[in-house]
Amino acid sequence: MAEMPWGTHISVFYQTKKDLLDAAVSFFQAGLESNEFCLWAVADSISVAEANRVLSNAIPDFEVRLREGQMELMHSRDWYLLGHQFDPKRTIDGWNRKLDAALAMGYDGMRISGDAYRLQANYWTEYFAYEKAFDEGLVGQKMVALCTLSLRATGAVDHLLDIAGAHQFSIVRRKGEWEFLESSELMHAGLDDARLHGARAILSEHFPGRDALTPRELVVLAQIVTGRSNREAAQILDVSPRTIEFHRGNIMKKLGAYNSADLVRKVLREG
């Protein structure tokens, strides 16, 4: 979890508390070493004191970074709920204020993790709306987000694909092992068999410049190469056409393409 481009939005489904702690330690250690402000809204199953202790044991200079204000720990219910009510807009605005403050303090960006166990149990509809809105709002932001979800939470397995669909990619952490889920956008893309095969190939095959693209840019690239317009891709991925246009511009710049036709040629290595 070290090298993550800005705007990356991941979901990790964990089985045990140790699985959750291992994921969080790896995630935040990379952020602290990269001059990022880090905020952890800790899961119900872990106390803030325990989270502090685990990070201190794993990261040699953690206590210094904590005292200097580079890391902040709080309980998830204190972040997500106000008066036992969940307000998606208030929560997203809160993340953005934290980012503005982090940048003003000289950090390169912000790395956050939140565990929505209580939301998953009581606010499924609001939670999905929040994750989708938050994901789209990450475009162009100097922020990396890790959402952790317990496989034991009420309905988590039943809604696994829906939750994955609100993130750029998803991981299952079970018994110390990592399992990557198939690209969530492609699972919900509604492509015919030929186009779906082509889109998957874009995500799996190597081409010059591929390693420079983020997971979301790869998914948008798959839509472009299979012939989708900005509007069509936006409808399929449930984002705005402007978001697709933003990603398209970044992709063309990274791959050195001067128009969409040139982009397709470079990816498919034609001509």
Whether the Cβ atoms of residue 165 and residue 129 lie closer than 8 Å to each other: no
Helix, strand, coil shares of the chain as percentages rounded to 5?
Answer: 55, 15, 30
Whether the Cβ atoms of residue 109 and residue 32 lie closer than 8 Å to each other: no
Which sequence spans correspond to the domains of the chain? Answer: 9-181, 186-268
* Number of residues written out for the chain: 271
**CA–CA dist 205, 164 (Å, integer):** 22
| Confidence at residue 164, expressed as pLDDT on a 0 to 100 scale | 65
Residues 53-59: contacts with CB under 8 Å, at least 24 apart: 54/21, 54/24, 54/25, 55/24, 55/25, 55/28, 58/25, 58/29, 59/25, 59/28, 59/29, 59/32
| Confidence at residue 246, expressed as pLDDT on a 0 to 100 scale | 87
Right CATH number for 9-181 from 3.40.50.300, 3.40.50.720, 3.50.50.60, 3.40.30.120? 3.40.50.300
What number of CA atoms fall less than 13 Å from residue 206's CA on the CB side? 1
Whether the Cβ atoms of residue 178 and residue 10 lie closer than 8 Å to each other: no
| Confidence at residue 193, expressed as pLDDT on a 0 to 100 scale | 45
Question: Which residues contact residue 66 at a Cβ distance below 8 angstroms, ignoring those fewer than 6 apart?
Answer: 52, 73
Which CATH number is 186-268 given? Answer: 1.10.10.10
| Confidence at residue 109, expressed as pLDDT on a 0 to 100 scale | 96
| Confidence at residue 168, expressed as pLDDT on a 0 to 100 scale | 65
Per-residue pLDDT of the chain (271 residues), as tens digits, is 556 778 888 888 888 888 899 889 999 999 999 999 999 999 888 999 999 999 999 999 999 999 999 999 999 888 988 777 888 899 999 999 999 999 999 999 999 999 876 666 667 777 778 888 888 888 889 999 998 888 776 455 556 656 666 666 677 776 666 666 654 444 444 444 444 445 555 555 677 888 788 777 877 888 887 777 888 888 877 778 888 888 888 888 899 888 877 887 787 765 4
| Confidence at residue 225, expressed as pLDDT on a 0 to 100 scale | 78
Q: How many CB atoms lie within 10 A of CB 197?
A: 11
Whether the Cβ atoms of residue 140 and residue 9 lie closer than 8 Å to each other: no
| Confidence at residue 194, expressed as pLDDT on a 0 to 100 scale | 46
